[in-house]
Amino acid sequence: MQDEYRTVAHEGVHETEINRSRFLCALAPAATEEEAQAFVARIRKEHPTATHNCYAYVIGADASVQKASDDGEPGGTAGVPMLQMLTRREMRYVVAVVTRYYGGVKLGAGGLIRAYGGAVGEALDTLGTVTRRRYRLATVTVDHARAGKMENDLRSTGRSVRDVHYGEAVSIEIGLPESDLDQFRAWLADVSAGEAGFELGGEAYG
Q: Would you say 91 and 129 are in contact if contact means Cβ atoms under 8 Å apart? A: yes
Alpha-carbon distance of 165 to 173, in angstroms, equals 8
What is the Cα–Cα distance from 190 to 64, expressed in whole angstroms?
42
User: What one-character DSSP code corresponds to residue 91?
Assistant: B
What pLDDT is stored for residue 1 in this prediction? 58
Residues 53 and 89 in one domain: yes
Q: Coil, helix or strand for 123?
A: helix
Residue-level pLDDT at 189: 94
**Residue 121 shares a structural domain with residue 37:** yes
Residues 17 and 69 in one domain: yes
Structural domain boundaries, residue 92: 4-127
Q: 142 and 102, same structural domain? A: no
Same domain assignment for residues 40 and 54: yes
Measured between alpha carbons, how far apart are the two ends of the chain, in Å? 14
Going residue by residue through the chain, which has 206 residues, state the pLDDT in tens, using 9 for 90 and above. 577 899 998 999 999 999 999 999 999 999 999 999 999 999 999 999 999 999 999 999 899 999 999 999 999 999 999 999 999 999 999 999 999 999 999 999 999 999 999 999 999 999 999 998 888 899 999 999 999 999 999 999 888 899 999 999 999 999 888 888 999 999 999 999 999 999 998 887 77
| Contact between 2 and 62 (Cβ < 8 Å) | yes
Distances (CA, A) of 114 to 22, 26, 87, 109: 14, 17, 16, 9
Let me know: does 5 contact 131? Beta carbons within 8 Å.
Answer: yes
Residue ending a domain, choose from 63, 93, 127: 127
Give the per-residue pLDDT at 29: 96
142 and 95 together in one domain: no
| Domain boundary pick from 104, 127, 150 | 127
Specify the number of domains making up the chain.
2
Residues 101 and 46 in one domain: yes
Distance CA 89, CA 145 (A): 48
Which residue type, as a one-letter code, is found at position 46?
E
CB atoms within 10 A of CB 124: 22
Selection from 137, 135, 141 nearest residue 206 by Cα: 135
Find out whether 39 and 95 touch, Cβ atoms under 8 Å.
yes
For the chain, the 3-state helix, strand and coil shares in percent, each to the nearest 5, are 35, 40, 25
- In this prediction the pTM is 0.74
Among candidate residues 127, 145, 176, the one where a domain is terminated? 127
In this structure, the answer to whether residues 109 and 171 fall within a common structural domain is no
Instruction: Give the pLDDT of residue 171.
Output: 96
85 and 136 together in one domain: no
